[in-house]
Amino acid sequence: MSEAAVSSSGEALDDGAKGFVQDFSSDMQAFHVPWGKAMMWIFLLSDTFIFSCFLVSYMKVRMSTTDPWPYPSEVFALEAFGYNVPLLLIAIMTFILITSSGTMALAVNMGYRKKKKTTFWLMVATAALGASFVGMQAFEWTKLIMEGVRPWENPFGAAQFGSSFFMITGFHGMHVTAGVIYLLVVANRVRTGFYERRGNNYEIVEIAGLYWHFVDLVWVFIFALFYLW
Amino acid sequence: MSSDEGQQHPLTIYWIMWTALFVLSGFSYATDFMDPGYVRWSLILILMFVKAGGIVFIFMHMGWERLALKLAILVPPVFIGVLIILMALEADNTFLTRIEFFGDSPMEVETPGHH
């Protein structure tokens, strides 16, 4: 189901391994996608390496410290209905981000179907869910800072816990914030008919969607490696 | 740039993926109630990679892209494995050096060179 790709001389290109060789061997466009999409993928690849550096350095400090690592299950527990529920807020944040990924996927689909209004509202819903995620993260940070967690020390155990926590979740939260702004800008242009005037082309919604799904993707790794481990 | 419309797929695929992500995340959260150990760690990693794969291949449409784009984007992250191995070895080394020089808990030693 990949997009029909043609060479510069107009011949249809093969799929699979043969197509891969054709794409890279001839003097022509290697990626048969809109340039914006190829560039977004390459940006996301570089971002993958940045987040990997944070997560690998977190692994390194956690493995090398001789102090006990604070148990995230208890550090991030919240009291609800008289019970101490482990990772309650983190679980809610996870489900919010997944929900926003779903609304974004639908927005991309509706964009290609030229349903302007539905696309706009789905994108606004995605941005709103993202904003609530950032709000909860601010709450989480406030709670931990009040409990005395600092990048250089904390009352629960190994000092490296604080620096890892603030770096990783801070950088991710910054990505979510940027994503909310990005989505709102694109959503507004969908609403005003900006893309309609430009050949009725909603590819930019898919490109914005790639960024948003990536933010969710990174959270999957942070949730597993930082909060659950 | 191709003039025909890009990634259009039936909505059912998205509903299935969305539901699967919810269920798998529920399982992920459930691992937090298990005792730490190899079973829990394996489950955390397996669920993490299944969710990540679903997001990349379905939501980000990588599964429908041409092989040239797939390989260009998905192969480089594999080399992060090299960094993980190197840093894990280095972490072990640091850990043993700390035990050697500071004893069990370096934080209880007031300042290096104090005694």
DSSP string spanning chain B? --SS------HHHHHHHHHHHHHHHHHHHHGGGSPSSHHHHHHHHHHHHHHHHHIIIIIT-GGGS-HHHHHHHHSGGGGHHHHHHHHHHHHHHHHHHHHHHH-S-GGGS-STT--
Statement to judge: residues A75 and A19 lie in one domain: no
Statement to judge: residues A24 and A103 lie in one domain: no
For residue A187, the model assigns a pLDDT of 95
Q: A201 lies in which domain range?
A: 33-228
Percent of all residues in chain B with a pLDDT value above 90, rounded to a whole number: 69
Q: A220, B6: Cβ pair inside 8 Å?
A: no
Q: CB distance from B12 to chain A under 8 Å?
A: no
Identify whether the C-beta of residue A187 lies closer than 8 Å to the C-beta of residue A124.
yes
**Structure tokens given for A182:** 């990005």
Q: How confident is the model at residue B62 (pLDDT cuts 50, 70, 90)?
A: very high
For residue A25, the model assigns a pLDDT of 80
| Contacting residues of A for B83, CB less than 8 Å apart | 52-53, 56
Q: What is the CA radius of gyration of chain A?
A: 21
Q: What is d(CA A75, CA A56) in angstroms, rounded to the nearest whole number?
A: 21
| Contacting residues of A for B28, CB less than 8 Å apart | 94, 223-224, 228
3-class state of residue A78 by DSSP: strand
**Would you say residue B108 has pLDDT above 80?**
no
For residue B107, the model assigns a pLDDT of 52
**Would you say residue B110 has pLDDT above 60?**
no
Statement to judge: residues A221 and A194 lie in one domain: yes
Say how many C-beta atoms besides its own lie within 10 A of residue A6's C-beta: 13
Statement to judge: residues A5 and A100 lie in one domain: no
Statement to judge: residues A39 and A27 lie in one domain: no
For residue B2, the model assigns a pLDDT of 41
What is the count of structural domains for chain A?
Answer: 2
Q: B6, A33: Cβ pair inside 8 Å?
A: yes
3-class state of residue A85 by DSSP: strand
Statement to judge: residues A185 and A77 lie in one domain: yes
- Tell me which chain A residue has its CA closest to the CA of residue B40: A229
A6 vs B25, higher pLDDT: B25
Mean pLDDT of chain B: 86
Q: CB distance from B30 to chain A under 8 Å?
A: no
For residue A188, the model assigns a pLDDT of 95
Question: What distance in Å separates residue B41's CA from the closest CA in chain A?
Answer: 7
Statement to judge: residues A28 and A76 lie in one domain: no
Statement to judge: residues A4 and A74 lie in one domain: no
Say which of B8, B22, B68 has its CB closest to residue A24: B68
For residue B76, the model assigns a pLDDT of 95
Q: A224, B91: Cβ pair inside 8 Å?
A: no
**Would you say residue B111 has pLDDT above 80?**
no
Statement to judge: residues A20 and A39 lie in one domain: no
Statement to judge: residues A16 and A102 lie in one domain: no
**Would you say residue B3 has pLDDT above 50?**
no
Q: How confident is the model at residue B114 (pLDDT cuts 50, 70, 90)?
A: very low
For residue B104, the model assigns a pLDDT of 62
CA proximity to A120, closest of A191, A185, A180? A191
For residue B115, the model assigns a pLDDT of 42
For residue A20, the model assigns a pLDDT of 87
Indicate which CATH number applies to the domain containing A109: 1.20.120.80
Positions of chain A with pLDDT under 70: 1-4, 8, 27
At B55, phi and psi to the nearest 5? Answer: -65, -45
Q: CB distance from B27 to chain A under 8 Å?
A: no
pLDDT in tens, A92-139: 999 999 999 999 999 999 999 999 999 999 999 999 999 999 999 999
Question: What distance in Å separates residue A22's CA from the closest CA in chain B?
Answer: 9
Say which of A33, A86, A98 has its CB closest to residue B69: A33
